[in-house]
């Protein structure tokens, strides 16, 4: 027994548990993010019952009319995904800096560029607001003119099956440029 609002809340909670199970079956791809869009009362309740691991903290508030707000909704969702992706990469960089031996972690662009050409970089994080223009020559590679050495290091990292990311300057951890 209970009041009508308590009963409605319980029924809605049960409904969101069913929806959550369906979402988890639907989003079987690893690490597929989920962004909630809706009025705060409903999104808060859904979050409280959801067991979905990749439910993003940020959501799109308000009542959504897909027939009129489709492109605006997509832009807001993309902005949330971009911000979350940058946050994840920043956290991964901080974690890598903490768990990696100092001899295997460098912020020296020259060392990183040579290591990238040798295929010795697994991960490379570059400040998106920094350029280092120069000419580079090495074992069959020759710049046609001045080019961004950080971009070249990223390309070589990827060519050799490493991973490379850019982060905005304000998201780079202290001491890293």
For 76-116, how does the pLDDT look when each residue is reduced to its tens digit (9 = 90+)?
999 999 999 999 999 999 998 899 888 888 888 999 999 99
Average pLDDT over residues 30-43: 91
Q: What is the predicted pLDDT for the residue at 176?
A: 61
Q: What is the predicted pLDDT for the residue at 175?
A: 58
For 136-165, how does the pLDDT look when each residue is reduced to its tens digit (9 = 90+)?
998 788 889 999 999 999 999 999 999 999
The per-residue pLDDT of the chain, averaged, comes to 89
For 114-128, how does the pLDDT look when each residue is reduced to its tens digit (9 = 90+)?
999 999 999 999 999
Other CB atoms within 10 A of residue 132 CB: 15
State the Cα–Cα distance between residues 129 and 67, nearest whole angstrom.
38
Element (H, E) at 117: helix 109-117
Question: Would you say 56 and 33 are in contact if contact means Cβ atoms under 8 Å apart?
Answer: yes
Predicted TM-score (pTM) of the model is: 0.72
């Amino acid at each position: 027994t209970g009041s009508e609002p308590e009963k409605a809340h319980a029924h809605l909670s049960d409904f969101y548990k069913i929806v959550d199970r369906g979402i988890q079956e639907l989003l079987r791809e690893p690490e597929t993010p989920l962004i909630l869009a809706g009025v705060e009362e409903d999104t808060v309740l859904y979050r409280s019952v959801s067991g979905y691991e990749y439910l993003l903290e940020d959501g799109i508030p308000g009542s959504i009319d897909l027939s009129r707000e489709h492109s605006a909704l997509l832009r807001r969702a993309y902005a949330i995904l971009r911000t979350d992706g940058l946050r994840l990469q920043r956290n991964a960089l901080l974690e890598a800096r903490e768990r990696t031996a100092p001899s295997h972690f460098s912020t020296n662009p020259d060392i990183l560029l040579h290591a990238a050409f040798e295929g010795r970089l697994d991960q490379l994080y570059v400040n998106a607001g920094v350029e280092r223009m120069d000419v580079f020559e090495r074992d069959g590679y020759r710049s046609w003119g001045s080019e961004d050495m950080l971009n070249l290091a990223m390309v070589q990292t990827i060519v050799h099956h490493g991973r490379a990311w850019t982060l905005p300057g304000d998201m780079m951890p202290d001491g890293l440029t």
